[in-house]
Structures are given as structure tokens and as C-alpha cells.
């Protein structure tokens, strides 16, 4: 069977690409339904983009690589598309846009766009092998236990990363890259809860607090959440993408920076109150009890000198914690690393050394922050490849 373009993976990027790649497109996926990650994303409401998306929100060895695709198909283009399909949405926080109704609306929209473009979709279909003769690809597919050979002028790898193997993530994109001698930046889990070998936070499980957190990257001002195994919550997930094993994360529990002044005025007004009671007005009581032991503070606030209060505020403003691991691909929202962008055209997502082979979405070494950025990368990179294929 002959097709113009074979797209492997009917996730966010693959479906977007199929809608724009012109005639003769076949999309295959080993799953039973397309867009499974879209369906479960954003608690079932899909945080489909971010109002403030810009290249700085993406992690890559080449921070310039994502610019062209993001400019060619921006959050405003996707918001227009969602509007055309009459999908109602709202901003939750920090520019994060969610469907009012259901993430399934986004899948229905992408399916409709694929149908409009005449793209075919084969589900429960996996790739057995891929060969290239210099001008054409031959893919051996297995569909319903049947071997089917497909030839195509273009192959687009849109098989995602390694995150959540239970949902069908296989890392196939990296294997195909390796087959064609394209380097891959070592994949690792991103947007992932961090863990500690001891159970120091067990008694705090379920406690949340606002904080400013960083690892080896920018500050993130969002909530942290203590879990049985360690730390989660949006600020920790964000920082996890910049964290390396063995390094500390820095948690600022005094993000407004005014705790010292607040404590001094409390000392004047409520001197007889216990320091932990006073701190409990600013932080969850269970966390204060934990910190009281770790930082060895006690007594009435009236008993604390300026220096003691300064020491406590400094410790709370840079609470350094060294996780011993992460929850790994089992729960990671994304996979960092991926196909080295040096080997791809930033305009088309095509492999420079293999004409006709494209990589889009999460399998490329471009990873977004939490907050709709990863889907935006899927839409932008899928669109870039689709446009290039249509024009070829």
C-alpha cells in the first residue's frame, strides 16, 4: 500500500500534523483510541495551551530551537482553532487554559480536523520495522495480527516520550532516531514528584504550602505538596525538570519576603505566644511542628532576639532538601531530553541527514513547563512538520 506520509503516533502532535500535512496521510497508533494523554490531561479538562507561552518556557540543549515553530503556530492560533470548534474554555491560573467541558472536546476537534484533511487512522497498529532506500520508506506494520507493508515518501515520528508506560509510552521515537544514527539527548523523567529514601515527610503527607522553589533553573512560585514518599505540587514538579540526582532543591517558605517584619511586630503585640503558634499563622501547623524539630526553635516569641528571628527567617527562606530520587516515568508528566535538535531543522522538524523523516512533539529534545506548554509544543511542532510536508 502506498501513502504520501506515514505518521506514527495518534497523540497530540501526530493528530495535529495529520490535519496539516496534505493528502495521502496515514496515522497509526498501537492504542485502542487516539489522544489518550489528551483525554486524561488537566484532570480531564486538558490544559491545552498557555496565554504566556514563549521560548523561555521550554527546556532544550538548544534554547533557540523551539522559536520558529512556536512563532509559526502560537497559542493564539490554537485558541482560534478551539474557538472555531465552539469549545468553551477558561483560564484557571497563570495563563493556563482549560476546557470548560471535557478534554474529549479537544480529541473530537483534532479528529474532525484530520477527517477534513482526509487523513486515515489505524488504531491497534504497531510498527515492526522501518526501512529507507534513499527516497522512500517501507514500514512493516502489524494491524490486528496481520502484517501490512506500507511505502511512504515521508515518515513522521510522533510516538511521544517514555512517560507513563501504562498508557502506552514506548520511546519508539528514540529507537528510530538511533536506527538512523541521529543522536538522542538521554531521556529522563520531568514534571515528576521527588522522593526521599527516609520517611521524613510521612507525617506531613497531604499538607500543602505556597512556596518559591528552584533547582538548577528559574524560581517557581506555586504550591508544594508533601507526600508519603517526598514532595510534589506544581512548584516541585516544575523544579524537578531542572533537578539532577545528588543536587539540592531550594524551597523558600517566605516567598513574600516579609516574615521577619511580621514576626517582629507579632513579638511586640503577642509576646507571650509560642513561636510555633505564631508561625502557624503563616504556614500549616503540621509543617511548623516539623520545622521546629529540624531547625530547633522553641519558646515564646518574646524570648527570640532579632538575630534568632533572622536565623529562622533565613532558614525558612532557603530550606535546602536533597531528594534521593523521583517517582520516575511511572508518574512523570513528560520526558526530558529526546532527539537532538542539532540534527533537525527548526523550521520543518525534518532530520537534516534523512530527507523525509520528521520528529515532532515530546520525542524531540524540547520540554515545556507545567501549564499547557507541552501541548503547545505538540501543536506547534506538529503544524511545522505538516506544513513542510504539504509544501514538499
State the residues that interact with ligand FAD by CB under 6 A: 8-14, 29-31, 36-37, 40-42, 46-47, 126-127, 158-160, 163-164, 168-170, 172, 333-334, 361-362, 372-375, 378
Q: Closest separation between CB of residue 201 and ligand FAD, Å?
A: 23
Ranked by CB distance to ligand FAD, the top (closest) residue is 11
Sheet holding 220-226, edge to edge: 319-321, 249-252, 208-214, 220-226, 230-232, 194-195, 325-326
- For ligand FAD, the closer of residues 204 and 235 by Cβ is 235
CB of 181 to ligand FAD, least distance (A): 20
Pick between residue 254 and residue 380 the one whose CB is nearest to ligand FAD: 380
Q: How do strand 146-157 and strand 137-143 relate by DSSP bridges? A: antiparallel
Sign of CA dihedral 34, 38, 41, 43: negative
Amino acid at each position: 500500500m502506498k501513502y504520501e506520509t506515514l505518521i506514527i503516533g495518534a497523540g497530540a502532535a501526530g493528530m495535529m500534523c495529520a490535519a496539516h500535512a496534505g493528502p495521502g496521510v496515514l496515522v497509526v497508533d498501537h492504542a485502542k483510541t487516539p489522544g489518550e494523554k489528551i483525554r486524561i490531561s488537566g484532570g480531564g479538562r486538558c490544559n491545552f495551551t498557555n496565554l504566556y507561552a514563549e521560548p523561555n518556557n521550554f527546556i532544550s540543549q538548544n534554547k533557540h530551537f523551539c522559536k520558529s515553530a512556536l512563532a509559526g503556530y502560537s497559542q493564539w492560533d490554537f485558541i482560534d482553532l478551539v474557538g472555531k470548534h465552539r469549545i468553551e474554555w477558561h483560564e484557571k491560573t497563570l495563563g493556563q487554559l482549560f476546557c470548560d467541558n471535557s478534554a474529549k472536546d479537544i480529541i473530537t476537534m483534532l479528529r474532525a480536523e484530520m477527517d477534513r484533511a482526509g487523513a486515515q487512522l489505524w488504531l491497534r497498529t504497531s510498527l515492526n520495522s522501518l526501512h529507507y532506500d534513499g527516497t522512500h520508506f517501507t514500514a512493516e506494520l502489524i494491524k490486528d495480527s496481520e502484517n501490512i507493508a506500507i511505502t511512504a515518501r515521508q515518515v513522521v515520528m510522533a510516538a511521544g516520550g517514555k512517560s507513563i508506560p501504562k498508557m502506552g509510552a514506548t520511546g519508539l521515537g528514540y529507537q528510530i532516531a538511533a536506527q538512523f544514527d541521529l543522536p538522542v539527548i538521554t531521556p529522563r523523567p520531568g514534571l515528576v514528584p521527588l522522593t526521599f529514601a527516609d520517611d521524613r515527610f510521612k507525617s506531613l503527607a497531604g499538607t500543602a504550602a505556597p512556596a518559591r522553589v528552584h533547582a538548577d533553573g528559574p524560581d517557581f512560585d506555586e504550591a508544594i505538596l508533601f507526600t508519603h514518599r517526598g514532595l510534589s505540587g506544581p512548584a516541585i514538579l516544575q523544579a524537578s525538570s531542572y533537578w539532577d540526582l545528588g543536587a539540592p532543591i531550594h524551597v523558600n517558605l517566605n516567598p513574600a519576603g516579609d516574615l521577619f517584619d511580621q514576626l517582629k511586630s507579632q513579638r511586640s503585640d503577642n509576646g507571650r505566644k509560642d513561636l510555633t503558634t505564631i508561625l502557624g499563622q503563616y504556614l500549616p501547623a503540621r509543617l511548623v511542628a516539623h520545622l521546629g524539630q529540624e531547625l530547633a526553635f522553641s519558646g515564646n516569641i518574646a524570648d527570640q532576639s532579632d538575630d534568632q528571628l533572622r536565623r529562622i527567617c533565613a532558614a525558612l527562606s532557603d530550606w535546602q532538601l536533597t531528594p534521593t530520587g523521583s517517582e520516575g516515568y511511572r508518574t512523570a508528566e513528560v520526558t526530558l531530553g529526546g532527539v537532538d535538535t542539532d540534527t533537525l531543522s527548526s523550521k520543518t522538524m525534518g532530520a537534516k541527514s534523512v530527507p523525509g523523516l520528521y520528529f515532532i512533539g515530546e520525542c524531540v529534545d524540547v520540554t515545556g513547563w507545567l501549564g499547557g506548554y507541552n501541548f503547545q509544543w505538540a501543536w506547534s511542532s506538529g503544524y511545522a512538520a505538516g506544513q513542510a510536508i504539504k509544501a514538499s
